[in-house]
Structure 1
Amino acid sequence: MRIFVLFALGYFLSYVYRGLNIGFAPFLSREMDLTAGDLGLLTSFYFIGFALAQLPAGLALDRYGARRTDAVLLLVAAAGTVLYGMTHSMQGLIVGRILIGVGVSVCLGAAFLAIAQNFPSSRWPLLNGLMVALGGLGGVVVGTPLAIVLTHNTWREVSVGMAVVTLAVATVIWLLVPETKQRHTAHESVSKQIQGVRIILKNPVFWRVVPFPCAVGGAFYAAQSLWVKPYLTDVSGFTARQADSLVSMLGLTMVAGTFITGMLARRIERYGLGLRAFCGLGMLLFVLVQVLIVFRVPMPAALIWGAYGFLAASCILAYALLAEVFPRKVVGRVTTAFNMIFFISIFSMQVGVGYVLDFWTSENGHYPAQAHLTAWGIMVAAQLASAVLYLWPGTLTVDEQLFE
Structure 2
Amino acid sequence: MATQADNNRNQSAGYSIWKVVLVVVLPFAGGYFLSYLYRTVNAVISGRIIADLPLDASDLGLLTAFYFLAFAAFQMPLGLLLDRFGPRRVQTVLLLAAAMGAFIFSIGTTLFELSVGRALIGLGVSGCLMASLKAITMWFPSERWPLVNGCFLATGGLGAVAATGPVEALLSITDWRGLFLGLAAATIVVSALIFLVVPERQEVGRSRASFRGQWEGVVDIYSSRVFWAAAPLCIAVQGVGFSIHGLWAGPWLADVGGLDSTGVATVLMAMALALTAGFVFTGVAADRLQRMGFSLDRLTGFGAILFIAVQALIVSGLVTSEIWPWVLFGFTSNMTVLVYPRLAQAFSLEMSGRVNTSVNMLVFIAAFVMQYAMGGLIELATPTGADGYPASAYRITFGIAILIELASLAWFVLAVRRLPARKA
TM over 0.5: yes
Amino acid at match of 2:397: A
Paired residue for 1:394? 418
- Give ranges in structure 1 of 5+ residues lacking alignment: 400-404
Paired residue for 2:243? 222
Deviations along 1:74-109, one digit per CA (max 9) or x if unpaired, are 011011111111122221111111111110001100
Deviations along 1:215-254, one digit per CA (max 9) or x if unpaired, are 1111111111111011112122333222210100100001
Determine whether 1:373 maps to 2:400.
Answer: no
Deviations along 1:332-375, one digit per CA (max 9) or x if unpaired, are 00101111001111111111110001111222121000000011
Determine whether 1:8 maps to 2:32.
Answer: no
Paired residue for 2:208? 187
Once the 2 structures are TM-superposed, how far is the Cα of residue 20 of structure 1 from its aligned partner? Answer: 2.0
Paired residue for 2:15? none
Paired residue for 1:71? 92
Paired residue for 2:272? 251
Paired residue for 1:170? 191
Once the 2 structures are TM-superposed, how far is the Cα of residue 396 of structure 1 from its aligned partner? Answer: 5.9
Once the 2 structures are TM-superposed, how far is the Cα of residue 296 of structure 1 from its aligned partner? Answer: 2.1
1:51–1:340: 8 Å Cα contact kept in structure 2? yes
1:62–1:182: 8 Å Cα contact kept in structure 2? no
Paired residue for 2:3? none
1:47–1:347: 8 Å Cα contact kept in structure 2? yes
1:63–1:182: 8 Å Cα contact kept in structure 2? no
Paired residue for 2:356? 335
**Deviates further, 100-109 or 79-88:** 79-88
- Give 3-state SS (helix, strand or coil) of 1:279's partner: helix
Distance 1:301 1:315 in 2: 25
Count matched residues. Answer: 399
**Deviates further, 350-359 or 304-313:** 304-313
Once the 2 structures are TM-superposed, how far is the Cα of residue 157 of structure 1 from its aligned partner? Answer: 1.1
Determine whether 1:87 maps to 2:108.
Answer: yes
* C-alpha RMSD over aligned residues: 1.7
Determine whether 1:232 maps to 2:253.
Answer: yes
- Give ranges in structure 2 of 5+ residues lacking alignment: 1-20
Paired residue for 1:317? 338
Determine whether 1:208 maps to 2:229.
Answer: yes
Distance 2:373 2:113 in 1: 22
Distance 1:5 1:345 in 2: 29
2:307–2:333: 8 Å Cα contact kept in structure 1? yes
Distance 2:57 2:321 in 1: 28
**Deviates further, 185-194 or 105-114:** 185-194
What is the identity percentage for the equivalent residue pairs of Structure 1 and Structure 2? 38
Q: Cα–Cα, structure 1 residues 175 and 270, in superposed 2: closer, same or farther, change >3 Å?
A: closer
Distance 2:292 2:260 in 1: 45
The TM-score, its normalising length taken from structure 2, stands at 0.91
The TM-score, its normalising length taken from structure 1, stands at 0.95
Q: Could you list the structure 1 runs, at least 4 aligned residues long, displaced by more than 3 angstroms after superposition.
A: 182-186, 396-399
